[in-house]
């Protein structure tokens, strides 16, 4: 009887620790771009121009069991507060435009080369509800199974 209670306590402890770790990783992922934005000392919002969007096909490394997804490299340019033209790029999972399209972004007026696109900031905000659904899909059946079969 004591062994069963000890085993149950260990399983619950490991489950709680795994849940805390999972939530911590999700918070880290969802706030990544916001932390970059907060790194900008004096952010200025401007409209830039997409210079090019390059499609990169992911790789299929079946021997390692990992598949790198396809992505786009978006290169954009903007004019800073001194009138100098700046260029930057980022990877994105979907196409956000073609060459010549406008893109909203923020750059640091003290270090104008540091910038982040508006779509990157919105990504983390839109990710929260998907994470909550995924968490519910994982937790609800697990709790149901634990209580139903744990008797």
Q: By the 8 A CB rule, do 68 and 19 touch?
A: no
pLDDT of 48:
93
Angle at 51 between CA 50 and CA 57, to 5 degrees: 90
pTM above 0.75, yes or no: no
pLDDT of 45:
92
The domain spans of the chain are 32-149
Q: Estimate to the nearest angstrom the gap between the alpha carbon of 101 and the chain centroid.
A: 24
pLDDT of 77:
94
CB within 8 A of 117, min separation 6: which ones? 48, 74, 76, 90, 103, 104, 105
pLDDT of 65:
62
Mean pLDDT by 10 residues, the chain (151 residues): 77 82 82 83 91 84 68 92 90 87 91 86 74 79 75 58
């Amino acid at each position: 009887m004591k062994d069963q209670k000890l085993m149950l306590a260990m399983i619950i402890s490991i489950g709680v620790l795994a849940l805390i770790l999972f939530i911590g990783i999700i918070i880290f992922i969802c706030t990544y771009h916001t932390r970059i934005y907060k790194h900008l000392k004096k952010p200025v919002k401007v409209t830039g121009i997409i210079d090019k969007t390059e499609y990169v096909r992911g790789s299929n490394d079946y021997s390692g069991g990992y598949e790198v997804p396809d992505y786009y490299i978006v290169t954009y340019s903007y004019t800073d507060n001194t009138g100098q033209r700046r260029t930057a790029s980022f990877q994105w999972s979907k196409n956000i435009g073609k060459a010549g399209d406008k893109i909203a972004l923020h750059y640091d007026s003290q270090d104008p080369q540091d910038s982040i696109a508006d779509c990157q900031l919105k990504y983390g905000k839109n990710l929260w509800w998907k994470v909550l659904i995924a968490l519910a899909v994982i937790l609800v059946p697990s709790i149901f199974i634990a209580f139903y079969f744990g008797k």
